[in-house]
Amino acid sequence: MSDIGGQIADIRRELGDKLLILGHHYQRSSVLGHCDEKGDSLALARLAGLNKTAEKIVFCGVKFMAESADVLSGSNQTVFIPDPMAGCPMAQMADAESMSRAREFLQAGGDHAYGLAGDWLPVVYVNSTAEIKAACGEWGGSTCTSSNSAKVFEWVFGQGKKVFFLPDEHLGWNTGADLGVPDDEIRLYDPRFENGGLDADDLAVARIIVWKGFCLVHQRFVVEHVEHVRHERPEAKIIVHPESPKEVVRICDAHGSTAQIIEYVEAVADGSTIVIGTEVNLVERLAEEHKGRVEILALSPSVCANMAKINENNLLDVLKTFPAESEVHVDVAVAENSRLALERMLAAT
Ligand code: 13P
Ligand code: SF4
């Protein structure tokens, strides 16, 4: 173990269960080796809410994940992030003011010719700011992650309502398709345009409206990548994260959250070849872990520069002094409504 690794291990031993280090699957292996738990967004949110002993929770991931941990953890617990600049660009693609304009449009003037004011409920992907989650909670909606979006959409449909999903267009389209909602009953809301570029006819036919937002890491997967694999390695199975464009997802063998991708790889027969379309740290780690049993290749290497901001050096820096600038605090009023949206998700799935 490196000297830095040794120092981290010493501090962890000293603090025992007063310290909880959580790590997302996209973290580099050297960081994950120091984490008490690793997981996808859903698992990590649950863990932060369930842990009662740790006074300090260090979150190795991006800011929105650490914010959710702060919202779900107890008042005696403080959440830290090793690099406070580790944001998620997708989370910045929806702001509370634009969401409020969208809500006005969807509820315009009470009941109207193309639907009822109460027709729509928001579903907010956890890859969003705490303010967006709060607006969702206050409106009666729920958050979701890529592993439970279908269940949360069903929770909305079960109430006889329609889904207003933000901020990832692709997860919205892909979840709709998983539930058998045809493309012509899904509309794209582009916040740059008045009423998102939609009109009364769109609202009349749509069962799902998806916000125009995306993840740079996954949007770069294209149909040609899949076609290339099909041509060169016809025996390979291809699995991608559902933040990938629907045209890609539909010609792959499977899609799923980071945890579901890991489960998929663990379940395949020895000697298989699996091509994975997601952040490259996870792909490379799976390739290493399953070496000699399963051949694992990247659909195309794609790096999340923000996840990569966390390393052993800044993890050790936090653990040495727990500096105030690394603390993650969601404003109390925002946290209250944001918790409503997160807890609805945890209860529904
Ligand atoms: P998961 O919820 O699948 O872990 O994904 C989080 C994420 O940020 C994917 O880009
Ligand atoms: Fe955000 Fe994409 Fe990075 Fe996930 S992979 S944290 S969605 S930028």
The CATH number assigned to the domain holding 194 equals 3.40.50.10800
For residue 337, being part of any structural domain is answered with: no
> How far apart are the CA of 194 and the centre of ligand 2, in A?
28
DSSP structure class, residue 305: T
Structural domain total, the chain:
3
Q: Are 147 and 52 part of one and the same domain?
A: no
Give the dihedral sign, CA 324/328/334/339: negative
Q: Digits of tens for pLDDT over the chain (349 positions)?
A: 679 999 999 999 999 999 999 999 999 999 999 999 999 998 999 999 999 999 999 999 999 999 999 999 999 999 999 999 999 999 999 999 999 999 999 987 445 544 555 689 999 999 999 999 999 999 999 999 999 999 999 999 999 999 999 999 999 999 999 999 999 999 999 999 999 999 988 988 999 999 999 999 999 999 999 999 999 999 999 999 999 999 999 999 999 999 999 999 999 999 999 999 999 999 999 999 999 999 999 999 999 999 999 999 999 999 999 999 999 999 999 999 999 999 999 998 8
Same domain, 209 and 102: yes
Residues 52 and 95 in one domain: no
Pair (96, 186) in one structural domain: yes
Return the best residue to mutate from 40, 240, 279, 300 for the ligand 2 pocket (most ligand atoms within 8 A of CB): 279
Cβ of 168 closer than 6 Å to ligand 2, yes or no, is no
* Pairwise CA distance, residues 152 & 154, whole Å: 5
C-alpha to C-alpha distance for 19 and 245, rounded to whole angstroms: 39
Atom 2 (ligand 1) nearest CA: 41
Domain-embedded: residue 39: yes
The answer to whether residues 140 and 164 belong to one domain is: yes
Instruction: Report whether residue 307 contacts ligand 2, using a CB cutoff of 6 Å.
Output: yes
Cβ of residue 48 lying under 6 Å from some atom of ligand 2: no
243 lines ligand 1 (CB under 6 A): yes
Residue nearest to atom 4 of ligand 1 (CA): 40
My answer on whether 156 and 177 are in the same domain is yes
Q: Tell me: do 122 and 200 sit in the same domain.
A: yes
**Tens of pLDDT, residues 171-207:** 999 999 999 999 999 999 999 999 999 998 898 899 9
Q: Is the CB of 258 under 6 A from ligand 1?
A: yes
What is the rounded distance in angstroms from the CA atom of residue 243 to the CA atom of residue 229? 20
At 211, which amino acid appears? W
**For residue 234, is it within any domain?**
yes
Domain assignment present for residue 20? The answer is yes
Residue with tokens 């863990």: 47
Which ligand is nearest to the Cα of residue 90, counting in written order? 2
The verdict on 197 and 101 lying in the same domain is yes
Residue 100 and residue 184 share a domain: yes
Residue 322, domain extent: 3-86+307-329
User: Does residue 339 form part of some domain?
Assistant: no
Q: Which of 198, 215, 232 finishes a domain?
A: 215
Q: Are residues 26 and 71 in the same domain?
A: yes
- Ligand 2 site, residue 87, Cβ cutoff 6 A: no
Look at ligand 2, atom 1, and give the residue with the nearest C-alpha: 88
Q: pTM of the prediction? A: 0.95
Do 175 and 107 share a domain, yes or no? Answer: yes
